[in-house]
Amino acid sequence: MSSLKASNGVVDAIWKLLASIQLTIVLLMSLAGTSIIGTLIPQNSEPAAYVAAFGETLFRFFSVLGLFDMYHSWWFQILIVLLAANVVVCSADRLSAGRRILFVRQPAYQAARFRSLPDREAFTEERGPEILRALYEPYVSRKARAVHIETTEDGFRMFGENGRWTRFGVYAVHLSVVLLLIGGLIGSIFGFDGFVTIPEGDTVQQISLRSTGERLRLPFAIRCDDFDVSFYETGAPKEFRSSLTLLENGRPVLQKEIIVNDPLRYQGISIFQSSYGTVPSREAVLSFTSRGTGMVYTQEMKVGQEAHLPENLGTFVLAELRHQTQFKGHPVGDAFIGRLTTPDGTAQEVVLPIRFPTFDRMRRGEVVIAVDQFKEKHYTGLQVNKDPGVDVVYSGFILMILGCYVTFFRSHQQVCVEAVRKGSGALVTIYGTANKNKASMQRRIQRLAIALKEMK
């Protein structure tokens, strides 16, 4: 309020409100209290699940309040923006009010102020003030900053200070909070958060965004060359590993194996190992057993391929791989579907469930077809992100830790050593003050007294 005296009463009132520590306390408590809601109500689930859990009326009410995505709701964002404004205004206000303490080269020491301090240590010296002054000056100048010596009627006063800069610690913490919010904002505006699954051997260039489900085209393509998962003896997963190649205009530009906690970063985009699964491959080795001769013929086939069977058994087309197949109302799992055309020209559909190799015997045809070898392929699930705000956030992190340490555990201390002639010697008194952790000031004064007494 001191410097920015606005003529407008409303602006003044708003400034006053934003500069108040009561607002800080109210905001911190509100953020703590409301944050609980989002941990009790699962966030970003399907509307149907919410209706089932809360009923229609409560669901609408909660929807209006944005409780299903509450950390991004308007009112929660307002609380955060208010906190940021509060932090900035409070800091500006205090910096401006304290500029005479914070931004001076040579502080104006006042003897009267030191004399009124409770923390002091006094001793008598046989040597006179002149000798002591010559002895103390180099020591105090070495130990303290902004040393100032004044001559008094019957002696001298020596002032010094340490740690004036520590008064900036709290502003560093406040700045760090602002940096975190700015970094978060940069990330949400200029970044994205997406997901893609790639079967081994496949290449993709488009990912799905988590927030909207929209597709996003990357400036490069990702090929999954290989995926491996290993397990401990206990059955718990040990490692997920994807070998990825990034391609620009079809040319490989980067190759890397990624595991959880070791992502790939390229052009500001990070690719994280996130999940995995299996997809049936569209290839199989099929066996054809002739009922007449008992001969078994095997052939590797791809979906869409046609095979002419020996012994004039006809032609077979591997038509498709059908997931969760039903055969006469019974689930038989994943199955290949083929079309067998016998030499007389009759065609029939053949179902070849992967799990039941003898299934086709039931058809009682001239040839029994079975899936002999079938290899499942893995797919890798990748988290694909871009967050240009991370560096800002990380600098906020570092600043916060340093700032907290300085704010809590370092202080701005001033001492005054006063010597007054007493007979042929002198009475020396040391006064000290600190802006925090006053208990340790007394100990510091005692240590200084011991050091000065021992000076030769």
Partner 1 sequence: MTSSVLLSATTFIYGIAGFLYCFAWVFKKPGAGRLASWVTLGGLAGNTAGFILRWVESYRMGFGHAPLSNLYESLIFFAWTIALIYLFIEWRYQNRVIGAFSAPLAFLTMAYASLSPNISDRIQPLIPALKSNWLIAHVITCFIGYGAFAVAFGVSIMYLLKSRRGEGEGGLVGRFPPTAVLDELTHQLGMFGFLFLSAGIITGAVWANSAWGRYWGWDPKETWSLITWFIYATLLHARMMRGWRGRRIAWLSIVGFGAVLFTYFGVNLLPGLHSYQSMGQ
Q: Which of 401, 450, 451, 455 binds partner 1 (CB under 8 A)?
A: 401
CA 174 to chain centre: 19
In whole angstroms, what is the distance from residue 190 CA to residue 388 CA? Answer: 7
Residue closer to partner 1 by CB (options 169, 432) is 169
In this structure, what token pair is assigned to residue 94? 């205090």
Site string for partner 1, 1-30 (x = CB under 8 A): --------------------xx-xx--xx-
Do 310 and 294 meet the contact criterion of CB atoms below 8 Å apart? Answer: no
Least distance in angstroms from the C-beta of 150 to partner 1: 34
| Least gap, CB of 86 to partner 1 (angstroms) | 11
Binding segment toward partner 1, per CB under 8 A, in 199-207, 335-343, 383-391, 446-454: 383-391
Site for partner 1 in 280-339 (CB under 8 A): none
Which residue, 49 or 455, has its beta carbon nearer to partner 1? 49
Read off the tokens for 210.
């988590």
Nearer to partner 1 (CB atom), residue 29 or residue 295: 29
Of 214, 176, 170, 180, the residue nearest 194 (C-alpha): 214
Least gap, CB of 388 to partner 1 (angstroms): 13
The answer to whether 432 touches 413, Cβ cutoff 8 Å, is yes
Residue 229, CB half-sphere, CA atoms under 13 Å: how many? 16
> Closer CB to partner 1, residue 264 or residue 452?
264
Least separation in angstroms between residue 442's CB and partner 1 is 14
All residues at 6 or more sequence positions from 170 whose CB lies less than 8 Å from its CB, including other chains: 91, 403, 407
Binding flag, residue 36, partner 1 (CB under 8 A) = yes
* Least Å from the CB of residue 112 to partner 1: 25
Output 104 or 401, the one with its CB closest to partner 1. Answer: 401
- Among positions 87-116, residues that touch partner 1 (CB under 8 A) are none
The tokens describing 47, both together, are: 């509307």
H or E stretch including 414?
A: strand 413-422
Q: 433 Cβ partners below 8 Å, 6+ apart?
A: 113, 114, 117, 119, 413, 414, 415, 441
CA distance 27 to 24: 5
Number of residues binding to partner 1, judged by CB under 8 A: 49
Is residue 90 helix, strand or coil? helix
The amino acid at residue 193 is D
Nearer to partner 1, 43 or 152 (CB): 43
Backbone phi and psi for residue 348, each to the nearest 5 degrees, phi listed first: -145, 155
125, 200, 387, 418: residue in contact with partner 1 (rule CB under 8 A): 387
**Is residue 197 involved in binding partner 1 (CB under 8 A)?**
no
269-280/120-125 β-pairing: unpaired
Contacts of 456 (CB under 8 A, 6+ apart): 135
Please say which residue, 20 or 289, places its beta carbon nearer to partner 1.
20
How far is residue 43's CA from residue 435's CA, in Å, rounded to a whole number? Answer: 45
Please pick, from the candidates 14, 17, 31, 147, the single residue that binds partner 1 as defined by CB under 8 A. 31
Our finding on whether 32 is near partner 1 (CB under 8 A) is yes
Q: How far is the CB of 61 from partner 1 (least distance, A)?
A: 21
Q: Tell me the C-alpha distance between 50 and 71, whole Å.
A: 17
Give the whole-angstrom CA distance, residue 346 versus residue 342.
6
| Closest CB to partner 1 among residues 32, 64 | 32
Enumerate residues 206-265 that contact partner 1 by CB under 8 A: 232, 234, 236-240, 259-263
Per CB under 8 A, does 268 bind partner 1?
no
Task: Rule CB under 8 A: say whether 38 interacts with partner 1.
Answer: yes
Binding-site member from 7, 8, 9, 39 for partner 1 (CB under 8 A): 39
Cα–Cα distance between 280 and 373 in angstroms, integer?
12
Footprint of partner 1 (CB under 8 A): 21-22, 24-25, 28-29, 31-32, 35-36, 38-40, 42-43, 71, 184, 193, 232, 234, 236-240, 259-263, 270, 272-274, 383-385, 387, 390, 393-394, 397, 400-401, 404-405, 408-409, 439
